[in-house]
Amino acid sequence: MIHCLHCHAETTNGLALCELCRRKAETILEVLPVYFRNLARWRPGRSGTSRPVPGSRVLWDGQVKSAGTGDRISDTLDETSNALITWARALVDDRPHLTRLLDRLTASRQAETVTEAQAVAWLCLGFERYLTSISTLDWCGEFVRDLSQHEERLQTLTPLVPGWYAGACRQVVGFDEDGAAVRCGAGTSVIPGLTWVTCGSCGATTYARDHLDVVLAEARGWLARPKPLAEAIVALVDTEASVPRLYDRIRQWANRGDLQPHHQIRRGYTWDFEQERMVVADEQVGHARYRMGDALDLVLRDTRSKKLTAVS
């Protein structure tokens, strides 16, 4: 008789994790990179300011502590990233044939060809892919518990940072003297890439697509690379169901010039041989990013074209 190493229930799948706990791990591995990527944009120095996001600063309690940066978001992101790397090394120790994959990721991080958020997404994707193999190891229960703790901490910090405003909550929370419904009315926000909106006041959860008109008022100007754009649009639009397919279409639009690229500009200097002096020569750096509103317009254009073709 085999028992789940996470919830201790009897398992019938021959693994050390029951189906419910496997599903829990899969869900965490799906949403954790979304929380991580959104919070990573608001590290001090990344959000256009050297100050922590309000509410993220660790207040001094009179004791001198050497650990941590003084910013809850930065500390939590560092702890989550380090924990995932630690679990990846534990998996590699038990499954040596995966060593080359971890070495490739480590080399990419050292060369700064992938961001920390991309590395976390890669790790979570790898854990999800090899979850069946992990479910046979004696540390799989502790692995799920640790993932759950980090996901909960990231989720707790998420309300501290701005998402896209999704309008006032319409959940009915009571009735007045005349019997009319009293609605929550608290402001809500949607995190880019998530398919739901949760009210921080009453806890009601609704689909992100139900807030599309309000969200787009702020989100149209959002700049991102094709993959995050595809994830956000699929979460908001009913007609799009596949992130990989939309990702390929966005890349094709970019290659055809249908999407205008935006680059970071770095001030540089070069020698002008004609004037025989140094002159300013700004240069584009980093990967091209595209405006969400432009990509969404193309998505809706294709949707309208398909409907017209079907009618005719």
pLDDT in tens, 20-42: 889 889 988 988 888 888 788 77
Q: Using 50, 70 and 90 to split pLDDT, how confident is the model at 58? A: very low
pLDDT at 74 (0 to 100): 87
Q: What is the DSSP string of 124-173?
A: HHHHHHTHHHHTTSTTHHHHHHHHHHHHHHHHHHGGGS--EEEEE---EE
Nearest to 279 by CA among 287, 267, 288: 267
Neighbours of 208 (CB within 10 A): 21
Q: What is the mean pLDDT of the chain?
A: 82
Residue 182 near residue 172, CB atoms below 8 Å: yes
Instruction: Please list the residues that pair with 172 across neighbouring strands.
Output: 183
Tokens coding 81: 């990233």
More confident residue, 131 or 241: 131
pLDDT tens digit sequence for 135-146: 999 999 999 999
More confident residue, 232 or 280: 232
Query: In the chain, pLDDT over 70 holds for what percent of residues?
Result: 83
Q: Is the pLDDT of residue 49 over 60?
A: no
How far apart are the C-alpha atoms of 32 and 85, rounded to whole Å?
A: 14
